[in-house]
């Protein structure tokens, strides 16, 4: 448990990646450092290199096909 919303009356909380809300409790869903910016935005900053989409991310394109890079040496 990261935050208990029952103690934060009339405040809007914005959750980023790595956090989940279950009722009045905010829980962590991935490993990393908990970050905060004013007024009330929280997220978990992980050390992994893989992109994990979040709400309000901008879309630049859509991947329609992905293949492994295979090198053949003779």
Break the chain into its structural domains and give their ranges: 1-74
32 neighbors 46 (Cβ within 8 angstroms): yes
Q: Report pLDDT for 71.
A: 61
Q: Report pLDDT for 74.
A: 61
Confidence check: pLDDT of 55 > 80: no
Structure tokens at 52: 């994990």
Rounded to two decimals, the pTM is 0.53
User: How far is 16 from 69, CA to CA, in rounded Å?
Assistant: 32
User: How far is 19 from 39, CA to CA, in rounded Å?
Assistant: 17
Instruction: Report in angstroms the alpha-carbon separations of 33 from 10, 50, 58.
Output: 26, 16, 23
């Amino acid at each position: 448990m990261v935050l208990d919303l029952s103690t934060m009356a009339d405040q809007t909380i914005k959750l980023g990646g790595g956090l989940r809300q279950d009722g009045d409790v905010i829980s962590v869903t991935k490993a990393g450092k908990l970050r905060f910016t004013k007024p009330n935005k929280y997220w978990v900053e992980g050390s992994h290199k893989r992109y994990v989409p979040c709400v309000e991310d901008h879309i630049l394109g859509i991947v329609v096909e992905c293949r492994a890079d295979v090198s053949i040496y003779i």
